[in-house]
Amino acid sequence: MVVDDSLTIRAMIETLLERDRRIEVVGIARNGEEAIDMIRLEKPDVVTLDIAMPGKDGLAILDEIMDMEPCPVIMLSSLMRDGAPIVAEAMDRGAAACFNKAMIVREATRFIGLIRDLGRGLVVADTAMEPVAIAA
C-alpha cells in the first residue's frame, strides 16, 4: 500500500512497483484517514508512508498502524538522511525502514527489493539493528 499526499509521488511509486510482477499495489491513499481504512480492509504486507502530510502526519499514522494492524512500514521523507533524528524516531515507533524520497528513482532497485524482502518477512525491524535507510 502506498500512502502519500502528493499525487506525483503516489504515481511514481505505483509505476515503479508495477514493474515487478511479484508486487501488487493493493491500495493508494492520499492521507492518513484513507490509509487506516484501507489497511483495515486490505491488510497489506507492506506500507510506504510519507512523514509530512496534512492532518495527521506519518508518524501519528505509524503509531495507529502499530496499535491496530502491525505490518512492515517504510517511512518516506526527503528528511531521511544518515543520522537524522527523524530516522531514529520512526524506527523507535515501529517503522521497518526509512527511505529518502529523493532517492526512490535513483535507488529504485534497492527500494523495490526492500519492499519485496519486507513483504516476505526477510527484513525484520529491530531497534538494536542499524535502521535500513537511504541517505541523499
Would you say 65 and 47 are in contact if contact means Cβ atoms under 8 Å apart? yes
Decide if pLDDT at 130 tops 70: no
Question: Pairing between strand 73-77 and 97-100?
Answer: parallel
pLDDT at 78: 82
- pTM beyond 0.85: the answer is yes
Q: What is the mean pLDDT of residues 86-92?
A: 88
pLDDT at 81: 67
pLDDT at 135: 42
Q: What is the mean pLDDT of residues 29-53?
A: 94
| Calpha distance 93→57 (Å, rounded) | 13
pLDDT at 122: 73
